[in-house]
A and B are shown apart, each in its own frame.
Chain A
Amino acid sequence: NAGVMQNPRHLVRRRGQEARLRCSPVKGHSHVYWYRQLPEEGLKFMVYLQKENIIDESGMPKERFSAEFPKEGPSILRIQQVVRGDSAAYFCASSPVRASEKLFFGSGTQLSVL
């Protein structure tokens, strides 16, 4: 009965490198959401995906960030050419139905950019 699994738990990157964050939703959930939490802040919505489709990406920065949720495999949040301001905790959540407010969150990936 695994919940939302995120890996890695901690990721260290140097400025300019790429960061790939993975998320496997709860078994049977086909809706995935990515949130970002900056230090001393609340969680901020980034993107909502359903299998192979981006439903809402209104919270994604316009450049360097992308997300996918392929038919097979985990959802991936990709950050290209990372900068220090990208350092944050990135949380993935899933839900069994479309647009559910009651989300199941993973433990997050802490990204540190040196």
Chain B
Amino acid sequence: DQQVKQNSPSLSVQEGRISILNCDYTNSMFDYFLWYKKYPAEGPTFLISISSIKDKNEDGRFTVFLNKSAKHLSLHIVPSQPGDSAVYFCAASAGGSQGNLIFGKGTKLSVKP
């Protein structure tokens, strides 16, 4: 039973356009959500996060939106750049989880020049 789901294994976007990566979760106890980016042969690197008390967090070209009623979050990248091509993982944690992040399976983003 997957608690964090990324239903799109891949996404292809033209450079300069917006990339939207989606993530759904089932556990209502999750109160903190993160996005990690992973290049081949490297470990995941933290990108952006959001607490459940917020519905939006923005950092430069990256914005994460949280819809608690729908148990859905999304990552928007605008404008998309070829260097953004990577696998993006959505992750969630519940209060007091002590570093136990629940990851989705990832979405591979390809940004074409």
Contacts and interface: CB of A to CB of B under 8 A. Distances in A.
A102 B103 contact: no
A68 B69 CA distance: 41
Contacts of A43: 44, 89, 91, 101, 103
A56 B103 contact: no
Contacts of A61: none
Interface residues of A, number: 30
A61 to B, nearest CB: 16
Contact of B99 (A4, A48, A108): A48
Interface in A86-114: 91, 93, 95, 98-108
A102 B45 contact: no
Given A42-B4, A95-B99, A101 B43 contact: no
Interface residue tally of chain B, by bracket? 20 to 34
Interface in B63-100: 89, 91, 93, 96-100
A58 B105 contact: no
Given A43-B44, A105-B44, A98 B105 contact: no
Contacts of A59: 100
Contacts of B46: 102-104
Given A31-B99, A35-B101, A56-B100, 18 more contacts: A33-B99, A42-B4, A42-B103, A42-B104, A43-B91, A43-B101, A43-B103, A45-B99, A48-B98, A48-B99, A56-B99, A99-B98, A102-B49, A104-B46, A105-B43, A105-B44, A105-B45, A108-B43
Interface of A: 4, 6, 31, 33, 35, 40-45, 48, 55-56, 58-59, 91, 93, 95, 98-108
